[in-house]
Structure 1
Amino acid sequence: MADTRTVLVIGGGASGNAVTILLRRAGIAVDLVEAKDDWNATAGSGITLQGNALRVLRELGVWDRVRESGFGFGSVGITAPDGTVLHVAEDIRADGDGLPATVGMQRPRLQQILIDAVRASGASIRLGVRPESLRQDGEGVTVRFSDGTESRYDLVIGADGLGSATRAAIGIEDRPEPTGMAIWRVAAPRPEGVVRTDLAYGGPAYIAGYCPTGESTLYAYVVKARRDRAAVPPASYADEMRRLARHYGGFWPEISAHITDPARVNYTWFDRLLVEGSWHRGRVVLVGDAAHCCPPTLAQGAALSLEDALVLAELLTGAGTWGEDLFRAYYERRITRVRPVVEASVRLGQWQLDGVRDADVPGLMGRTMTMLRELP
């Protein structure tokens, strides 16, 4: 292998941005291509970042900006639909007193922080470009791009999300599957008394919750049974979400008053995916949602993706040779951690779908988060 190693990262979401920053820090030449011209800079409403995600963000060197931009808190409340608090669980700190247990923040703000760090890393960035073909041999990968150019790399990292074209291109046939639930999300002003995540189970929605994302903002969400997307036209998103939210008490009436613009409401399905066996073929390896995804019932999607980037970068920068043993070690180290989170996230939703009234929701959350205290 040449002294200057070259890597192509496909996709500029959390995992793609993170692995780019870490590899550039080690002096590896990285090209990042992102299919969207805007680099997803305005996508999404809010995100919940728990301790294992915050550890990676600190390692990336962006923790100070995350702390300044988000809202830190240390507990989650379980409420009745009328707003009565039934149970408050202290969130498990992944880093003792060094980091908050949880930070909520606006998702576009997190993306911009990561974008700025990628740009500062010196990576080569091309937006509005996607690979059209990957041709492998024993030494590397030749990639043909949609802009007509062609380049050669020692390694290709597929960080192109749930519908990953990279995953399909290397012959991995796993595809995301709907879990039976869908979610409406919206960013809104934060009532002064909202200082943690609260989750209401029951009522017309399976779950109704909110998370503070800053001094004056939060994001709120309601979860219902999945419907055909054609039966939920975008123009109705605000009306649909407000119709569900009006049955909830506590802070919900104040939040609901701001659910007026359908363009600000996002409606998506819950999916699950776990690629088994390996996350690579030859010199192409998957990270993040391209390899696994789970419903946001544990708020671990971005955290697991960031962990993938950290572990893969650690292995790549610490190895003299990039080969089968390294990629196998990456998979084995990640699958034992990712699988129980995917399974627990799906189980939490299935309990709601099945109407299980004695489900130990706090217990399952606590056991899973205790496991995630350990380093990845």
Structure 2
Amino acid sequence: MSTPTRSVLVIGGGAAGNAAAILLRRADIAVDLIEAKDDWNATAGSGITLQGNALRVLRELGVWERVRASGHGFGTVGITAPDGTVLHVAEDVRTGGDDLPATVGIQRPRLQQILIDAVRASGATVRLGVRAASLDQDQERERERDQDRDQDRDRDGVTVDFTDGTTGRYDLVIAADGVSSATRAAIGITAEPEPTGMAIWRIAAPRPEGVVRTDLTYGGPAYIAGYCPTGEFTLYAYVAEANRDRASIPPESYADEMRSLARHYGGFWPEITPHITDPAKVNYTWFDQMLVEGSWHRGRVVLAGDSAHCCPPTLAQGAALSLEDALVLTELLTGADEWDDALFQAYYERRIQRVRPVVEASVQIGRWQLDGVRDADVPGLMGRTMALLKERP
């Protein structure tokens, strides 16, 4: 009797979930992907900075050429004074290798659409507006063994009831449903994101002709003010400050709030700030931190991406780490005869040694700013952390 095709449910259609679906389908594993939102690309955000280690995974996914054509690649980062004076220009570490740019900026909706197109082309079954209502794992319940049942039912797996009234059975569930993951809580992992004390305002805007790289300003009315080119004519701009009670900031005031901070900065900011007018296009987000310890799985349900870890964007590594999770997990799955606790623990051990330094460094950089530490070795910490990421995940 031939071995039946393995099946995987991916919960969540962000970076980690999309990447896992693409790579598993390449190995001829049946994939169902569910996404809670009806519009898969509705809240993709303004822009994103992708370091080389993220680009390396995107190349593995077969979408690098589209990303390169859609974004803006560069190899340096500028440090400026609040008035716009350039204080220092540093070479970015090429964490993806010398054959890839150090950094690419791209509009988030564009990156998401590229990944969506690749998931659909892979042959994965996609259902939008659907959640997992319950997960029933074989190994967590006592049941009588029926010797006459078929081989597919004889393997350990997970039976999932969906919110649309349907039921599915899978060899594995990958929980890639984000930092507020309902799946993480459902399998008994109690970790929750914690605010770091800082928040960020972001907006997409036209790119002034002279903006060819990321420039960062530390100080002024905000802790950080910066921008990143995301294409020939676009960039995204951001300012980070101490977090405030969200209830005290009505959404209709978002543009006014961001503009009141941005207007104090020089350089290219006077060309960017006049475009901060539509509050619906301004995103306000607290910085959170979380790292699930011990293991990222319970039985046949395993976490990936922001459901397992999150950190402030001070190193621009959130999406990169999520993409790497998918690459490592699928590499282990497609290379193993048995999907068991040892395999899932190996996934955790391999990832935690890479993720932990990034989370800790990202949080530390923000903490130094909140505490007003003047002699903090931010460049040194950044350099050491990014050097670690040059190694393949």
Q: Is the pair's TM-score, using the shorter chain for normalization, greater than 0.5?
A: yes
Residue 220 of structure 2: aligned partner? 203
Q: Which moved more, 1:77-86 or 1:51-60?
A: 77-86
Separation in structure 2 between the aligned mates of residue 135 and residue 94 of structure 1, nearest angstrom: 40
Structure 1 residues 226 and 180: CA distance shift in structure 2, 3 A: same
Distance in 1 between residues matched to 2:278 and 2:231, nearest whole Å: 21
Q: 1:98 deviation in Å?
A: 1.1
Query: Shift of the alpha carbon at 1:145?
Result: 0.2
Equivalent position of 1:191 in the other structure: 208
Q: Deviations over 1:32-73 (max 9, x none)?
A: 000001113452000000000000000000000000000000
* Conserved? CA contact 1:13–1:40, under 8 Å: no
Q: Deviations over 1:113-148 (max 9, x none)?
A: 000000000000000000000000130100000000
Query: 1:344 matched to which residue of 2?
Result: 361
Aligned counterparts of 1:232 and 1:151: Cα–Cα separation in 2: 42
Q: Determine if the alignment matches structure 1 residue 254 to structure 2 residue 255.
A: no
Tell me, in whole angstroms, the C-alpha distance in 1 between the residues paired with 2:188 and 2:369: 35
> What is the letter of the counterpart of residue 345 of structure 1?
S
Report sequence identity in percent: 82
Query: What's the offset of the Cα at 1:97?
Result: 2.9
TM-score by length of 1: 0.99
- Preserved contact between residue 49 and residue 103 of structure 2 (Cα < 8 Å): yes
| Partner AA of 2:100 in structure 1 | L
Change (3 A) 1:127 1:231: same
2:215 equivalent to 1:214: no
Answer yes or no: is the 8 Å Cα contact 1:41–1:111 preserved in 2. Answer: no
Deviations 1:70-100 (A, max 9, x none): 0000011111111111121101112443111
Contact conserved, 2:51 with 2:96, CA < 8 A, in 1?
no
Match of 1:235 among 249, 252, 258: 252
SS state of the match for residue 380, structure 2? helix
Partner of 1:157: 174
How well do the aligned residues superpose, as a CA RMSD in angstroms? 0.9
Query: What is the CA–CA distance in structure 1 between the aligned matches of 2:97 and 2:389, rounded to whole Å?
Result: 13
CA distance in 2, matches of 1:116, 1:312: 22
Code of the aligned partner of 2:296: W
- Within 1, Cα distance between the matches of 2:204 and 2:336? 43
Q: CA deviation at 1:2?
A: 4.6
Matched, 1:75 2:67: no
- 2:95 and 2:177 mapped to 1: Cα distance? 28
The answer on whether the counterparts of 1:8 and 1:156 sit within 8 Å (CA) in structure 2 is yes
Aligned to 1:176: 193
**Which stretches in structure 2 are left out of the alignment for 5+ residues?**
140-155
Deviates more, 1:33-42 or 1:197-206: 33-42
Query: SS in structure 2 opposite 1:180?
Result: strand
Distance 1:333 1:3 in 2: 29
Deviations 1:233-269 (A, max 9, x none): 1101000000000110000010001001101100010
Structure 1 residue runs of 4 or more that deviate by more than 6 Å after TM superposition: none
Structure 1 equivalent of residue 390 of structure 2:
373
- The SS at the match of 2:275 is coil
**Structure 1 counterpart of 2:62, which letter?**
G
- What is the distance in 1 between the residues matched to 2:54 and 2:165? 37
Give, in whole Å, the separation in 2 of the partners of 1:146 and 1:81.
50
Deviation at 1:3, TM superposition (A): 2.6
The match for 1:318 is 335
SS at match of 2:33: strand
Partner residue, 1:90: 91
AA at the equivalent of 1:182: A
For 2:96 and 2:165, how far apart are their aligned partners in 1? 47
The 8 Å contact of residues 55 and 96 in structure 2, kept in 1 or not, is answered as no
CA contact (8 A) 1:208 1:222 kept: yes
Structure index of larger Rg: 2
Task: Give the corresponding residue for 1:136.
Answer: 137
Separation (CA, whole Å) in 2 of partners of 1:29 and 1:55: 25
* Structure 1 residue ranges without an equivalent (≥5): none
Which residue number corresponds to residue 375 of structure 2? Answer: 358
Equivalence for 2:115: 114
- 1:198 touches 1:209 (CA, 8 Å); kept in 2? yes
Quick one: distance in 2 between partners of 1:278 and 1:37?
A: 31
- What SS does the aligned partner of 1:48 have? strand
Please state whether the residue corresponding to 2:322 is helix, strand or coil: helix
- Specify the SS of the correspondent of 1:257: helix
Aligned length: 376
Q: Is the 8 A contact 1:185 1:222 kept in 2?
A: yes
Task: In structure 2, give the amino acid aligned to 1:75.
Answer: T
Q: Is the 8 A contact 1:89 1:362 kept in 2?
A: no
Aligned to 1:31: 32
* 2-structure distance, mates of 1:59, 1:155: 22
Matching residue of 1:59:
60
CA 1:96–1:284: 2 relative to 1, 3 Å: closer
Q: Give yes or no for contact 2:217–2:224 (8 Å, CA) kept in 1.
A: yes
**Could you tell me whether the CA contact under 8 Å between 1:222 and 1:241 is conserved in 2?**
yes
